[in-house]
Chains A and B, each alone.
Chain A
Amino acid sequence: MADSHPPYLAHHFEDLEQQKQSATLGIWLFLITEVMFFGGLFLGYIVYRGMYPEAWHLGSGKLDIVLGTVNTVVLIVSSLTMALAVRSAQINRPKACANYLLATIVLGTAFLGIKAVEYSAKFFPGEDAAYVLIPGANFFLDSPFSNGVQLFFSFYFTMTGMHAIHMIIGIGILAWLYVKARQGTYHEHYYNPVEVTGLYWHFVDIVWIFLFPLLYLIGRH
């Protein structure tokens, strides 16, 4: 038990172990709430996919599988760099930690950039496009399943949109960590924030790992 509080131990904790355990339990509980949050969307997706399998098949086929796959790879690599950032802090290499954090930020931003390209292709389909896939009054698809496809795209945009918002928040936290890491804040005795953010980042990654097959691959068996 540390009698003198080091600067990175908050005053209301008895020791570092208690602080670390609290942070870890806290983030896991938070991730449980995230599972329930996305769970609601997945439930809706499953219900409608059961009701309109053809529409889901058709809608899925309208997504850009190449960009989707590239994005999946980008995100998995970003999870790797994130894990390496945590590891670097643990083995007392603050500079490497900062660099890996930066790499994670770059990859995360790349993911969002590619996503933006995908979105804009849907938002601006061109004057003579055969279909408009943005749900709402302008939605147009010449298919007997068009209503179901519109439902599919409502879920596509809500799910990927919620995922993107999580990514943006994650990148914001990473940027803050990066600044701190550059100052050498994180080292073998204190790396809670990096570890906790890492867990969050991996979670957001895993959500995508579910979204990718459900949205992009399901129509291509």
Chain B
Amino acid sequence: MNETLKLLPAQATDFAGQVDALYLFILAVTVIFTVLFFVLLVGFSIKYRRRKRAEGAAEEKAPEPPHEHYTLEIFGGAFLLVLLMIMFFWGAKLYFKAQTPPSDAMEILVTGKQWMWKIQHPSGKKEINTLHVPVGRAVRLSMTSEDVIHSFFIPAFRVKNDVLPGRYTQLWFKPTKEGTFHLFCAEYCGNEHARMIGFVKVISEEEYEAWTGTGPVEGETPVQAGERLFAELGCLACHNPASGALGPNLAGRFGSMVQLMDGTTVLHDENYTRESILNPMAKIVAGYAPIMPTFQGQVTEEQLGHLVAYIKSLATPSTEP
């Protein structure tokens, strides 16, 4: 039988199974209501059909106008609302899950551009339009775009998120099944949108370790590349642990709340890091002078990803220099 005639597509994560359970629940509600509706529609049309009058017979009495009370509407509406709220809360629960990657997730950088997906693994290994991931391990994708809006979609995992220029978005999954699955761009991005596709290859942990350590590796992991850039671009001159440094020390900072000059606080996350590199005046840390120059145009999207990865790695005290 053709794959697409099956009720459900392949499930390759636990999350996919949970989405499908909700899907089947809504499907059941939908089918029941649709069938009921069609039965009533056809049933009433037959039962109360207009009968032909015999020639010369007295005119048929018109049907009574309906009563003006709303019992049916009130109870029908309330019952429906209960069903709808079940869907809402169930759906919201899954959405939260999809938005919250586990803290031990392996991080892979994804950059979309017309019309390809550029992917870099923690080992530094790069690939295009194919994503190798080990089975049984949570993976978090940190995604951005070099041009227009794209959307990273893996049907078998039931996950999707738009990939935007100028900011980072994320996606996570934990494959439970080895195999090859479709990877699509779901947001229309121009002429070759339909060719911005590829495959996700879920392989065993050992295969992944073997794969990720071979091939055209630049010799640097994203974190190492970020560390090198951090030195090359002169960031270290101000952002260092010495007292009286011109910029805040970034060690242990990522993931915490930062007190700003104007009294507000902001979460130091990927997008804040990115903004601070490209647009340093936007949100200045309390106690420091607004003197950092912008690095807009001096770093590529890829290098930016590396810098962010490095600063992120500083959050864990063990990697602190």
A and B in direct contact, judged by CB atoms within 8 A? yes
Q: A interface vs B, CB < 8 Å?
A: 51-54, 144-145, 147-148
Total A-B contacts with CB atoms under 8 angstroms apart = 15
Q: Which residues of B contact A145 (CB under 8 A)?
A: 281
B265 within 8 Å of A (CB atoms): no
Per the bound structure, the CA–CA distance linking A145 and B281 in Å amounts to: 7
Q: How far is the CB of A48 from chain B (nearest CB, A)?
A: 12
| Chief secondary structure at chain B's binding surface | loop
Question: Chain B 265-296 against A: per-residue CB contact (8 Å), 1 yes, 0 no?
Answer: 00000000000000111100000001001101
Q: Which residue of B lies closest to A54 (CB)?
A: B281
- Most chain A CB within a 10 A radius of its CB, from B280, B293, B294: B294
Residues of B within 8 A of A54 (CB): 281-282
A-B contact pairs, 15 of them (CB 8 A): A51-B282, A52-B282, A53-B262, A54-B281, A54-B282, A144-B280, A144-B281, A144-B290, A144-B293, A144-B294, A145-B281, A147-B279, A147-B296, A148-B279, A148-B282
Q: How far is the CA of A144 from the CA of B284 in the complex (A)?
A: 13
**Inter-chain contacts of A51 with B (CB < 8 A):** 282
- In the docked arrangement, what's the CA distance between A73 and B100, Å? 55
Chain A nearest Cβ from B272, distance in angstroms: 13
B280 smallest CB distance to A (angstroms): 7
Interchain CA distance A187-B58 in the complex, whole Å: 63
Which residues, 227 to 286 on B, are CB-close (under 8 Å) to A?
262, 279-282
9 nearest A-B residue pairs (beta carbon):
A144-B281, A145-B281, A144-B294, A54-B281, A52-B282, A147-B279, A144-B280, A144-B293, A51-B282
Closest partner residue, chain A, to B293 (CB atom): A144
Complex Cα distance, B261 from A53, in Å, reads 13
Which residues of A have CB within 8 Å of B282?
Answer: 51-52, 54, 148
Question: How long is the Cα–Cα vector from A148 to B281 in the complex, in angstroms?
Answer: 10
B280: A residues at CB distance < 8 A: 144
Interface centre among B279, B280, B296 (most CB of A within 10 A): B279
Query: CB-CB < 8 A to A52: which residues of B?
Result: 282
> What CA separation (Å) do A51 and B279 show in the bound complex?
11
Segment 119-133 of B: residues with Cβ below 8 Å from A: none
- Within the assembled complex, what's the spacing in Å between the Cα atoms of A54 and B283? 10
Q: Please give, as numbers and ranges, the residues of chain A lying within 8 Å of B281 by CB-CB distance.
A: 54, 144-145
Can you name the residue of chain A whose Cβ is closest to the Cβ of B279?
A: A147
* A144 CA to B281 CA, complexed, in Å: 7
- Note all chain A residues with C-beta closer than 8 A to B293: 144
In the complex, what distance in Å separates the CA atom of A51 from the CA atom of B280? 13
